[in-house]
Each structure stands twice: as structure tokens, then as C-alpha cells.
Chain A
Amino acid sequence: MKYAFSFLVVIVLIVVAGLGSQIQGMQYVFGVALPYLAILVFAGGFIYRVVQWAKSPVPFPIQTTCGQAASLDFIKQNKLECPNTTSEVVARMILEIVTFRSLFRNTKSEIHEGPQLTYESSKWLWVFSLMFHYSFLLIIIRHMRLFLDPAPFWMAWIEFGDGIFQVGAPNAYITDATILMAIVYLFGRRIINRHVKYISLINDFFPLVLIFGIACTGILMRYFLRTDVDILAIKRLAVGLVTFSPVIGVKIGAIFYIHLFLVSTLLIYFPFSKLMHMGGVFLSPTRNLKNNSRAVRHINPWNPDIKPHSYAGYEDEFREFMVDAGIPVEKELPVEKG
């Protein structure tokens, strides 16, 4: 029911924006106020979360090692899988962020007759994750043509490449198809695969459904529901938003406000959700630490400050009691005069 509830929430959001934007004067709420609020919550929340993470001490390397550590000279170190210098860690991080190497290791476990447990490599998650993330990245970059005036020259190259099949007019984008395919896979996986279904929560389903809604409304607006979708009015609003002088000149179709409202929801939801893996991937200690615990001393930052206490000092402090108890002391009590 967790996924059904996600759909329900997104449908409610669509209805709210679809009807709300039709009320006179509410266009500024959905088109100006909410986007500003959303970007503030997104950026502020993102920074807050990262700072909170940075406040947590990481007292010793907890790197996930996947290869031979640096050891004796004649044992070959696996520099990418078990880095012990900063540059090796940087290389590992870049490859992790750009190519999702940890997902490449994904395995599928099955119980067969016997009972016998088998594991086999399963690359689908990796393939569709790459597809999803790169489609999303290209879509975001492509949208910048509506915010940047004049649009930079390389924008045309992205547009050309993404619409290279020249299907229909406006040109069908490849990324529109690939992001939908990837979302369907990522969602289907959580429902069909029993192990993943068991651990899936509403905060796994909701962002997928929300992004699915964003992609669908965007595709509908571009290719199918073009009534009152005047790209000039939309660009005027978008450029207005980023130059702090937003204007909604003419009537823009409800589908635009629905799309924008869902995006605003995504931005507001972002810092409180698992989507924070965008920032978190940079801060994952299992990836970004050096495996150098045998070469460098790591001091626990919350250790109490214990001052050294020598035996001479100890005896000075307790000499009287020691003498009383008959314990031998190195330095006798001073002879009392009198």
C-alpha cells in the first residue's frame, strides 16, 4: 500500500495545482511564490544537512576495502579498490560518482533446491540507475534554456543531440524516453523483487512517483497538451524568476502550473529525503576515507583530555595516606618540627 499512497499524494498535488492555478490571482502563488520558497528550502536544507553531517566526527577509517591494501613492497596494492593516498581516494570518488561502481557490484541472491543459496551478478540496477541519473542531468541542463537569456551557444548542441532522431515537432527527446523507462524499472524493482519490496518504504516510493509525475507532465506539456503553452510567456516567467522580476503576462495552461508545482514539491522534499544522496555521496566515509590506519594515528576527537600523572606526582598527592597505611614510599614525609 506504500506505493499506492505515493500515487495518491502525487494525484492530490496534481489536482491542487491544476485547480488552484485556475483561480484568479493564484498564478502568482504557484508560479512565483512557491518556486522561490522551494529553491530557498532546497538550498538552505541542503547546506544544513551537509553541515550536520560534517559535525559528526569520523575518528578512524571505515573505508570499504574491495582489494589488496598497501602492504609490503612485493605485494601489489589495488589502488582503486583500497586507496591509501588522497589522489587515489579522489580517483575512486570520481569513478563512484560518475559511473556508480558500487552498484556495478550488485548481486542477486536466490534459494534453490537443497536448500542452496546462490549469488549471481545483476547489472540491471546499475544500467538503469545510470540511465536515470544521466537523463535527469541532461533534462535539468536542457531546462536552463528557459532560465538563461540569451541561452549559451552549447545549449543548441545538447538540444540537437537529445533530439537527434528528429521525430515529430517539437522534436522528441531521447532523455524523455530513457528517464521514463528507468523510473519504471526502478519502481518495478521495488514491487516485483521480494527482497527489495520488503525493505522499501514510502520514502523510497514517493520520490520515484513524484519524478514520474514531473516527467509525465513535462512530456504532456511539450508534445500533447500545447494549448496555452506559450514558450515565450514561460521563458519570460523563468527569466523573471532568476532576475527577481517575475511577470506572468498571459494565461499559461494548467499543465505548466502542475509541472512547476510538482518540481517545487520535489525541491522542498529534497533536503528531508533520501534524495540527499546527491550531497551524501561526497560525504560517505566508506568511500572518501584513506585506508591508512596502519600508517597514521587517528585520534578520537571526543576522547577526554587526560593529563599525564607520574608516580612522583601520585606519591606527592597521597603520601600521608600511604605512610598511614604502611605502604613504602620513595620520599619520606617531612619531619615535623616541634
Chain B
Amino acid sequence: MYNKGTIIPGLIIFVLIVMSPVLYNGLKAGSVPKPEPPPGGEKQCVLPVSEMRDKHMQLLNEWRDEVLRDDERVTVVADGKQYRKGLQLACMQCHTNKEKFCDSCHEYASVKPYCWDCHLTPAQQKAALKKETH
């Protein structure tokens, strides 16, 4: 083999790049987060759990467009229960804890949705109300 001085370091770099996920994780598969079920004990949502898990972002995006762009604020009825369209109006009514519900999975999957650029979490809402009344 010729030019060992450059070929071998080059191949070592290649192997390190290929192995980088293995080296980064250090053979420890972290635990998969479990989002907290609603603290109020609600068992029902606008869609079945599996569909919510896979498609909630699309549903929220549709709601956002319908409400803000088309002014369609009609309520959603699922299994006889009425829901208002909205993250704060519907979702956060039951799933009150953003950190334990939304963030647990989003952080694991490294997803940073921009919902919270505008929306407030129930905790933030409470704090904001307190400030105003004082």
C-alpha cells in the first residue's frame, strides 16, 4: 500500500464518522419517555390515542389555519363531548402540564414546535393573570 501516512488516518476518520452515533451514545439506550396522562383523569380525546400520537401536529395545524385564517371557530364534537378548537382551549384543558406532557416526547425526539411562541401554558397563564390583578 502506498501513501500509508494519509490513507490510514483518512480511513480512521471515516470509521470514526460512521461509528459516531455509537461513540456518542456510549452503548446506553436511554429510557423512552411516557407522557403523563391528564391529571384530571379524562379518558377521552378528540381522536383515538394512536391517531393523536401520530397526527396531533397536523390536527393542531389545521385548527390553527381554520380558526385564524378562515374564522371557523365551530366546536369539534367527539363522542358527544364538545371541544373548542385550540391548544389552550381544548388540549391544555385536560393535559394541564406542558412539561410532563408535551415536552417529554418533544425533547426525546428533538422536536421544537413553535406553538409556545404565541401560546401560554396553563402555569404561565395563571402567573400572567396574577400580575394583572396586582
Partners in one complex: yes
Bound: A54/B3 CA distance, A: 7
Q: Are B108 and A230 in contact (CB under 8 A)?
A: no
Query: Contacts of B107 on A, CB cut-off 8 Å?
Result: 150
- Sorting the interface of chain B by its residue count into under 10, 10 to 19, 20 to 34 or 35 or more gives 35 or more
- Name the prevailing secondary structure of the B interface residues: helix
Bound: A240/B111 CA distance, A: 19
Query: Contacts of B124 on A, CB cut-off 8 Å?
Result: none
Query: Contacts of B3 on A, CB cut-off 8 Å?
Result: 54
How many chain A residues have a CB neighbour from B under 8 Å?
48
Bound: A282/B13 CA distance, A: 13
Tell whether A57 pairs with B25 under 8 Å between CB atoms, given A150-B30, A232-B105: no
Q: Is A297 an interface residue (CB 8 A)?
A: no
How many residue pairs link A and B with beta carbons under 8 A? The number is: 108
Q: Are B25 and A159 in contact (CB under 8 A)?
A: no
Tell whether A244 pairs with B27 under 8 Å between CB atoms, given A43-B15, A47-B11: yes
**Residue from A43, A156, A229, A240 in contact with B29 in the complex, judged by beta carbons closer than 8 Å:** A240
Q: Are B7 and A169 in contact (CB under 8 A)?
A: no
B7-30 interface code vs A (CB 8 A; 1 in, 0 out): 100110011001001101111111
**Residue from B10, B26, B60, B109 in contact with A169 in the complex, judged by beta carbons closer than 8 Å:** B60
Q: Which of B36-44, B48-56, B71-79, B90-98 contacts A (4 or more CB under 8 A)?
A: B48-56
Bound: A58/B10 CA distance, A: 18
Closest B residue to A56 using CB positions: B2
The 8 closest A-B pairs by CB, nearest first: A151-B110, A169-B61, A145-B110, A169-B57, A147-B21, A242-B21, A243-B29, A54-B7
The 30 listed contacts between A and B (C-beta, < 8 Å) are: A50-B10, A51-B7, A54-B2, A54-B3, A57-B2, A58-B2, A145-B110, A146-B109, A150-B30, A151-B110, A156-B110, A156-B112, A159-B110, A159-B112, A166-B114, A168-B58, A170-B57, A227-B55, A232-B32, A232-B33, A235-B32, A235-B108, A235-B109, A239-B29, A240-B29, A242-B22, A243-B22, A243-B25, A243-B27, A301-B2
